[in-house]
């Protein structure tokens, strides 16, 4: 038997592989029968404890808020401990909750590693593959890869979650997804690995009838001239917004922010009808948009793959990475 698999199996001698459950002996009331921890309950508990919010946890888990409440209630009933204090809209781990939080991540990693190790003993590429994908990558970069991969590996069930890049990082951290495809930040936690797949050039755009369009036809524009008009940009927690914000701050220029949304398709639409200028990927160019000639360094963002370097990748995930690099 593979030594890694043997080690995992020793670590989780109470783990029921088929049911994703972990048994441990709790307090005296439960010592006779044992207490069972469900994988989904642990994932939801971590989400609530780390975000401090049932609604945010529901968004991360892609379930309803009542479902989050039910999972936490079931986990509290199972452990016979109050794990979360609910004060208004804020959720705070109790002392028992903090103790569980210290172990929950390790338990989930062991569960996932055991499942993956057992699956990988079978050389066939099958099972489910959980992917977190940014909206932009899903629309403009990923379709060709998904088409090829689905044809090559029909026994793999793809489970796709489309969301913002920042949320994808959280989903990788908690184990909610195996692979993430997102805009890569300048830095990531040490336990997250990233691989750049696409270089994504960015351009300044306005509508064809915007005042800046006419000026740009005559000469190169300064950033100060752009700052006189409303900017249509992503929210501050967005990597693309950070690139633009840093460019203006380095030149000591204040942005005239008008509308904020992380949906680039929405920004493109609002730009095309003349509500302001924006910075968009070249892959989103439409005839309604006019590229601006701006005196500024060329902007680009990196799009790519992120995954947890402490977790063993499944055969399906490894095959997907190979397919992604071949079809990019």
pLDDT digits over 300-314, tens only?
999 999 999 888 899
Q: What is the pLDDT of residue 17?
A: 36
**Sorting pLDDT into bands at 50, 70 and 90, what band is 285?**
confident
- Look up residue 80 and give its two tokens: 């016979």
Pair (277, 141) in one structural domain: yes
- Average pLDDT on 175-184 reads 94
Do 151 and 76 reside in the same domain of the chain?
no
Its domain, for residue 227, covers: 127-328
* 156 shares its domain with 299: yes
What average pLDDT does range 308-323 have in this prediction? Answer: 92
* Mean pLDDT on 278-288: 88
Do 205 and 107 share a domain, yes or no? Answer: no
89 and 41: one domain? yes
pLDDT digits (tens, 9 = 90+) for 7-29: 444 443 433 333 333 333 333 33
Q: Work out whether the CA dihedral 159, 163, 165, 169 comes out positive or negative.
A: negative
Looking at the structure, tell me whether residues 233 and 314 fall in a common domain: yes
Which residue reads 């892959």 in tokens? 283
What does the alpha-carbon distance between residue 55 and residue 61 come to, in Å, rounded to a whole number?
10
Residues 113 and 162 in one domain: no
For residue 328, pLDDT beyond 90: no
> Where among 120, 147, 177 does a domain terminate?
120
What is the residue whose two structure tokens read 């038997």? 1
DSSP state of 122: S
Residue predicted with more confidence, 9 or 133: 133
Q: Are residues 149 and 190 in the same domain?
A: yes
Q: Which residue has the tokens 């590229």?
A: 291
Same domain flag for 166 and 209: yes
Percent of residues, the chain, with pLDDT higher than 70? 88
Q: Collect all residues with Cβ–Cβ distance below 8 Å to 293 and sequence separation of at least 6.
A: 216, 219, 220, 221
Predicted pLDDT at 35: 54
Question: Residue 116's pLDDT is what?
Answer: 74
The 8 Å CB, 24+ separation contacts for 94-98 are 97/45, 97/49
Spatial CB neighbours of 96, under 8 Å, sequence gap ≥ 6 = 79, 81, 82, 83
Q: What is the DSSP string of 248-300?
A: HHHTT----EEEE-S-HHHHHHHHHTTS-BEEEEGGG--TTEEE--BSSPPEE
DSSP element (H, E) containing 3: helix 3-11
**Chosen domain end from 120, 155, 180:** 120
Whether residue 204 contacts residue 247, with contact meaning beta carbons closer than 8 Å, is answered with no
SS3 state of residue 219: coil
- Terminal-residue alpha carbon distance, the chain: 37
The model's pTM is 0.65
If asked whether residues 98 and 159 sit together in one domain, one would say: no
Does 282 lie in the same domain as 220?
A: yes
Q: How many structural domains are present in the chain? A: 2
Same domain, 83 and 188: no
pLDDT(83) > 90: yes
Nearest to 237, CA basis, from 298, 182, 290, 296: 182
CATH of the domain at 318: 3.40.190.290
Q: Is residue 78 over pLDDT 50?
A: yes
DSSP reduced 3-state for 85: strand
Question: Could you tell me the CATH number of the domain that includes residue 41?
Answer: 1.10.10.10
Contact 292, 216 (CB under 8 A): yes
* Distance of alpha carbon 82 from alpha carbon 76, whole angstroms: 6
Vertex 28: Cα angle to 26 and 32 (nearest 5): 80
Q: Is 198 helix (H, G, I), strand (E, B) or coil?
A: strand
Which H or E element spans position 319? helix 315-327
- Nearest CA-CA partner of 1 in 123, 107, 118, 127: 118
pLDDT tens digits, residue range 210-250? Answer: 999 999 999 999 999 999 999 999 988 888 999 999 999 99
Q: Which of 84, 104, 120 is the last residue of a domain?
A: 120
What is the pLDDT confidence band of residue 121, given thresholds at 50, 70 and 90?
Answer: low
pLDDT at residue 317 is higher than 50: yes
Q: What is the pLDDT of residue 32?
A: 41
Quote the pLDDT of residue 236. Answer: 86
Query: What's the mean per-residue pLDDT of the chain?
Result: 86
Whole-number percent of the chain with pLDDT over 90: 64
CA distance 226 to 105: 47
Pick 319 or 4 by higher pLDDT: 319
């Amino acid at each position: 038997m593979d030594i890694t698999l043997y080690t995992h199996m020793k670590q989780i001698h109470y783990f029921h592989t088929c049911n994703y459950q972990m048994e441990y002996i709790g307090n005296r009331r439960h010592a006779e029968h044992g207490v069972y921890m469900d994988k989904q309950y642990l994932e939801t508990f971590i989400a609530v404890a780390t975000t401090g919010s049932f609604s945010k946890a529901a968004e991360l888990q892609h379930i309803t808020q009542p479902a989050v409440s039910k999972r936490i209630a079931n986990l509290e009933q199972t452990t016979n401990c109050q794990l979360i204090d609910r004060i208004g809209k804020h959720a705070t781990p109790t002392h028992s909750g903090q103790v569980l939080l210290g172990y929950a991540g390790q338990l989930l990693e062991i569960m996932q590693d055991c499942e993956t190790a057992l699956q990988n003993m079978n050389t066939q590429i099958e099972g489910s593959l959980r992917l977190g994908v940014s909206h932009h990558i899903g629309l403009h970069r990923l379709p060709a890869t998904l088409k090829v991969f689905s044809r090559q590996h029909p026994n793999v069930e793809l489970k796709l979650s489309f969301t913002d890049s920042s949320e994808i990082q959280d989903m990788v951290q908690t184990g909610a997804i195996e692979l993430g495809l997102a805009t890569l930040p300048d830095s990531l936690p040490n336990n997250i690995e990233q691989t750049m797949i696409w270089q994504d050039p960015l351009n300044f755009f306005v509508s064809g009838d915007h005042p800046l369009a006419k000026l740009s036809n005559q000469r190169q524009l300064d950033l100060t001239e752009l700052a006189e008009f409303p900017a249509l940009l992503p929210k501050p927690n967005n990597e693309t917004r950070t690139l633009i914000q840093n460019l203006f701050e380095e030149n000591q220029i204040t942005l005239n922010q008008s509308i904020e949304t992380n949906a680039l398709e929405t920004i493109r639409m609002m730009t095309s009808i003349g509500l302001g200028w924006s910075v968009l990927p070249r892959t989103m160019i439409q005839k309604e948009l006019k590229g601006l000639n701006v005196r500024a360094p060329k902007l680009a963002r990196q799009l790519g793959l992120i995954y947890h370097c402490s977790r063993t990748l499944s055969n399906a995930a490894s095959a997907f990475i190979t397919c992604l690099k071949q079809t990019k």
